[in-house]
Amino acid sequence: MENVLTIAGADSLAGGGIQADLKTFEELDVFGVSAITSVASILPGKVALAQLAPEVINQQLTSILSQLPVRFVKTGLLGDVTTLDLVCAQLRQFPVWLVVDPVLVFKEGATDLAADYIAALRQRLLPLAYVTTPNLDEAAQLSGLAPITTREQMRTAAQRIQTLGCPNVVVKGGSRLAGTVAVDYLRYGEEEYWFEEPKIQKKTTDGAGCTFSAAITALLATGVALPQAVAQAKQFVHAGIDHGVVISEQLGSVWQGASRRQE
């Protein structure tokens, strides 16, 4: 069984972040290990983020990368430029297949990631990645093409992100692209693939992006090629949204990654 590492934030409600990643790894038969960068407390209308000290983050990475064979890594929320740079330094020492989920936007509310974080993502993390999985907002910020409202703009954004040094890009249309279809676009080198599923009219979508990129990472680790990994990850997330768990009526429906009870 492959060891797969997620470097990301913890989510107090466990819809997204490290919790969603580990649940997804478990479901897809890889052994998940984690380095936590920050702790997100999901509150009404906002997300409170507490960043861990750089030494603590570095220690986790050293613990994992120096003692375990790890060939596949996913990054989610890194939280600040210092963390992003120490992650890059570690990953340059231990070359891996890297999936970057460039988390800039939470469905639960805005985060305060600054322009220098986006610049660091573009200039230092993305060139280390095998594939990145921005949603429409993130693709707009990474490509400088804002706002993205059409399929043609999804293609252009992916091409622009490739020029940053990341050979493969999945732009997720998700719930954000208007229409009745949840469309994702993969730019795989020069090849392109469109993935479509009916848009599900449910609120159980928190953590969908984390789960999607975690599933891609796990599937790559089990030997699936990227276009098929994206197709399967999309099916996995689609089932997850459709059978999402409502953890509190007061909070509304909250997606729970691995608990996809299929009646």
Is the CB of 159 or the CB of 239 nearer to ligand PLP?
239
Which of ligand PLP, ligand ADP, none has residue 81 at its interface (CB below 5 to 8 Å by kind)? none
Among 70, 136, 210, 216, binds ligand PLP (CB under 6 A): 210
Of 208, 131, 204, nearest in space to 171 by CA? 131
Cβ neighbourhood burial of 132 (10 Å; 0-12, 13-18, 19+): buried
CA–CA gap between residue 49 and residue 130 (Å, rounded) = 28
Taking the complex as a whole, the smallest distance from the CB of residue 17 to ligand ADP amounts, in Å, to 11
- 27 near ligand PLP, judged by CB under 6 A: no
Please check whether residue 57 is in contact with residue 77, taking contact to mean a CB–CB distance below 8 angstroms: no
Residue 157 binds to ligand PLP (criterion: CB under 6 A): no
**By the rule CB under 6 A, 238 interacts with ligand PLP:** no
- Please report whether residue 209 would count as binding ligand PLP according to CB under 6 A: yes
Q: Using CB under 6 A, which of 33, 186, 208, 241 touches ligand PLP?
A: 208
C-alpha triplet 121, 124, 130: angle, nearest 5°: 85
**Site map 55..94 versus ligand PLP, x via CB under 6 A:** ---------------------xx-----------------
> Binding ligand PLP by CB under 6 A: which of 9, 173, 174, 240?
9
Pairing verdict, β 31-43 and 46-51: antiparallel
Distance CA(64)–CA(163), nearest Å, equals 31
Q: What are phi and psi of 26, to 5 degrees?
A: -60, -45
Q: Which positions touch ligand PLP (CB under 6 A)?
A: 8-11, 15-17, 40, 42, 76-77, 103, 106-108, 206-210
